[in-house]
Amino acid sequence: MKKSMCITYEVEDALYVNVTNKCSNRCTFCIRNNGDSAYGSDSLWLEREPTVTEIVDSILSRDVDSYSEIVFCGYGEPSVRLRDARAAALAVKEKHPTVKIRINTNGQSDLILGYDTAPFYKDAFDSVSISLNTPDPKRYVQICRPAFGINTHRAIIDFARRVKAYVPKVAFSVVRETLTEEEITECQKIADSVGVTLRIRAYITPDNLSS
């Protein structure tokens, strides 16, 4: 496996931030299964986790205000390092108050960190995109293989309900190619019951990395 210290990388008109390779899921469809590199980087596998200072420096070395948004995403689950991601986001916002910052998460930060994490998203992130993936808890276990088992899906929905009190925009995301129309309808019902948007995105492959 090739490794590098690729902390930030561009995806279309956004700047993505890679803070960890750790994750509480082992999704069957994870982009990491496709290889070491993505989005023009040598590798998104990190030699080591960058410090908060390194994350901030990497972001600030770019023309921050030229991007549509900054997205904490990368080759792992960014909320594993929620406090560090928050600190980095707040530092960037201090220099660039109008920049929009999103975090793409599997929605498991409460389970990973063991406390109510929703308040820690406040002010640092303008939007939170949570991978729902399926309307069915059993199916979630099959396709995402979470470390926390069958209760994970319910915990993700609970997290979405709470974090929307702290963050202006919260969305569930699903991958169109992995779901039937009926399943997408069920995901929409869950999103509606929580009061968040449902974002239906295309499956990411080496051939459509910018989707």
Binding residues for ligand SF4, per CB under 6 A?
23, 25-27, 30, 32, 76-77, 106, 131, 144
Residue with smaller CB distance to ligand SF4, 111 or 144: 144
Distance in Å, CB of 207 to ligand SF4, minimum: 18
Nearer to ligand SF4, 50 or 76 (CB): 76
Closer residue to ligand SF4 in complex, CB, 8/133: 133
Q: For the chain, what is the HEC assignment?
A: CCCECCCEEEECCEEEECCCCCCCCCCCCCHHHHCCCCCCCCCCCECCCCCHHHHHHHHHCCCHHHCCCEEECCCCCHHHHHHHHHHHHHHHHHHCCCCCEEEEECCCHHHHHCCCCHHHHCCCCCEEEEECCCCCHHHHHHHHCCCCHHHHHHHHHHHHHHHCCCCCEEEEEEEHHHCCHHHHHHHHHHHHHHCCEEEEECCCCCCCCCC
Nearer to ligand SF4, 127 or 129 (CB): 129
